[in-house]
Amino acid sequence: MTMAEATSVTDIVSFKNLNVSPASVAMGARIEGIDLARDHGIEVIDHLRSLLLEHHLLVFPGQKLSAIELEAFGRMWGELLTHPATKHRDTDYVQFIGGKNRKFKLLPGVHPFGGGWHSDMTWHSTPPRITGLHARRLPSTGGDTAFSNQHIAYETLDDETKEQIADLEAFHTGKVFGPDVEDSVHPVVRTHDESARKALYVNGNFTKHIVGLTNDESERLLYRLFAHATRPEFTYRHQWDLDDLVMWDNRSVMHYAIGDYDETRIMHRFVVKGGKPS
C-alpha cells in the first residue's frame, strides 16, 4: 500500500466515524470519533474546514496531544503565527497560557490574562483566521470560556446602525504586549473571505477608537457595539474537560476567558494566519 493509499483509507475511516452534534443554538458543533494526533488526512481536514465554516466553532473532546502534535495539527490549517506574550518551551508556534486568577478579580482596571471580549490579535496586520485552544490542566471549578457569534451580532443590528458603520474603520493596538507590537486599522464590519457573510469586527480589548470620529462620538458608538456584540443569545459558554480542543473562526467569533478560579489552569494555543480584513 502506498502512502497516498494509506492516507486515503484513514480519511475514509475517520470521515465515516465522525459524530457531529450541536454545541449550542448560537454556534458550535461537537466532533467525536476522531483522534487528531493521527487523523490528518486531507479529506478529513477538508471536511472539518466545511464544518468550521458552517458552525464557526468546533469542540473536539479527549484529544491527548503534545505541544508538537498540536502544532502539526495546526499546520494542516495554514501558516501559524507566533504570539509576543508567551511561547511553549518545545515550540514557538504553540503558546503556553498558564497561571492562577484570583476569584472575581474583575475590579475596575484589573484584568486577568485573556479576560475581556476579543478576537485574537486584531492588532495584527493579518489577524488569525483560526484559533485552537487545548486544555492541559484545569481548576476544580470555573475557568470556562464564552464565545459570541459576530455574524448574528451584525445581522441583528438595526438598519440605521448598519448604514452608519458600513464604511467605518477602527484602530486596534497590541501595545499591551510590548512597545514593538504593531498596531493596525481594520473595517468595523468585515466580510468573511470564504462565506461572504458580514460580521462585527471591534472588541473591547484591542479596539481603541473609530477613525475619523471625535473621541466622544467614537466612545459612544463603540460602547453601543460592544454591548450589542455580546448579548447572551449570540453566545456559547464552553465548560472545559481535560484534553478538550476547541477551534474557532476569529473572523466571526469573539471570546472571553472567564477568570473565576484560583487554581492553576494551563492551556496550549495555536493561531493560523489570516488575510487582511476587508
Q: Which three cell numbers stand for residue 155?
A: 445581522
**pLDDT tens figures, 77-132:** 999 998 766 666 568 889 888 876 655 444 444 444 456 899 999 999 999 999 99
pLDDT for the residue numbered 153: 98
pTM, full prediction = 0.89
Q: Tell me which residues of the chain have a pLDDT lower than 50.
A: 1-13, 104-113
Q: Are strands 253-257 and 198-200 parallel, antiparallel or unpaired?
A: unpaired
Burial 140-165 (b: 16+ CB within 10 A, else e): eebbebbbbbbbbbbeebeeeeeeeb
pLDDT for the residue numbered 84: 67
Q: Which residue, among 152, 154, 142, has the nearest Cα to 238 in the 3D structure? A: 142
207-210 sheet: strands from edge to edge: 183-187, 169-173, 207-210
pLDDT for the residue numbered 201: 98
Q: List Cβ neighbours of 76 (8 Å cut-off, separation of 6 or more).
A: 40, 45
pLDDT for the residue numbered 178: 81
d(CA 273, CA 79): 6
All structural domains of the chain, each given as residue ranges with its CATH number in brackets, are 3-273 (3.60.130.10)
